[in-house]
Amino acid sequence: MNCLITGSNGFLGKIISNFLINNIELSTLSRSNADYSVDLSNEVPIFKKPFNIVIHAAGKAHSVPGNDFEKNEFNQVNFFGTKNLLEGLTKSGVPQYFVFISSVSVYGKDFGIGIDENAALRALDPYGISKIKAEKIVLDWCKQHQVICTILRLPLVVGPNPPGNLGSMINGINKGYYLNVAGGSAKKSMVLASDVAEFVLKASEVGGIYNLTDGYHPTLFELSNTIAKQLGKKPPLGMPFWFAKLIAFFGDLIGEIVPFNSRKLRKMNTSLTFDDSKARVYFGWNPTPVLENLKIKCNNK
């Protein structure tokens, strides 16, 4: 068995690569410092050999775009990058297994409890739309070439030096300006990157579409307090909901350049959890609760 992993220098891709390198013959693809140094968003890779399994972890992570260029970048990287990868694999020889790292953002939900894989894909934001389009092209290509296809829809992925919202939370707690809105009682689905890495090969043999979570869905209060403890900081203070709502109101008036608005407040103050029971049944998904194995690194400690 030999494996190709894309995005091997990214946050999750690096963790998967480090786990797999001792378990399988591994080739890496990234924009630089990889066996295949390729920018998938702009070029079709030329592979020297076929692979038994491909893990497609490359992509532009979720963020709030500030302009039209950043909005289009999601489509260019996540959709056209996937399209170019599949074209390269078609030329070199199709794999037996293909794993696509997707996101629960495809559901387009800001709140909800126990959302499963049967939920409609209703994302309206550029990131979610790009993931929906990438999922479709992967499913169609795998069906055409009789490749066993696995799509893993991940929520907030937790590990050392994470990007995105979790990275911002860690930085905010470290510098003392993170506040829990209305007590931080909202529950959010999360998953350890190390658990995804450990199960990805097992999932690849089964095929299908799966949500992966830690099964516990901690509150933002629990998560922020755990982070603060690891950083040796005081637990974050709280912000009354009325005050947060006032700030969000002014954010709505100013526009997209402001990082806090009513939509952001709603996401911080409402629970959003996903059901991973399908993965538990089909390939024995048995994750570690995030709060029990959270390892934080912060460069500005």
CA distance 61 to 157: 11
**Which residue from 18, 276, 301, 289 is spatially nearest to 158, judged by alpha carbons?**
289
Q: What's the mean pLDDT in 171-199?
A: 92
CA distance 122 to 120: 6
pLDDT in tens, 16-65: 999 999 889 999 999 999 999 999 999 999 999 999 999 999 998 876 66
Residues 6 or more apart whose CB falls under 8 angstroms from that of 33 comprise 9
Q: What's the mean pLDDT in 146-170?
A: 92
Separation of first and last alpha carbons in the chain: 42
DSSP 234: P
pLDDT for 253 equals 78
What confidence tier does 120 reach under pLDDT thresholds 50, 70, 90? very high
pLDDT for 62 equals 74
What confidence tier does 6 reach under pLDDT thresholds 50, 70, 90? very high
pLDDT in tens, 85-116: 999 999 999 999 999 999 999 999 999 999 99
Lowest model confidence (mean pLDDT) among 121-125, 166-170, 226-230, 275-279: 166-170
pLDDT at 299 over 60: no
pLDDT for 301 equals 41
Average confidence score pLDDT of the chain: 91
Which tops the pLDDT comparison, 63 or 154?
154
pLDDT for 161 equals 85
pLDDT more than 90, % of the chain: 73
pTM above 0.75, yes or no: yes
3-state class of 270 per DSSP?
Answer: coil
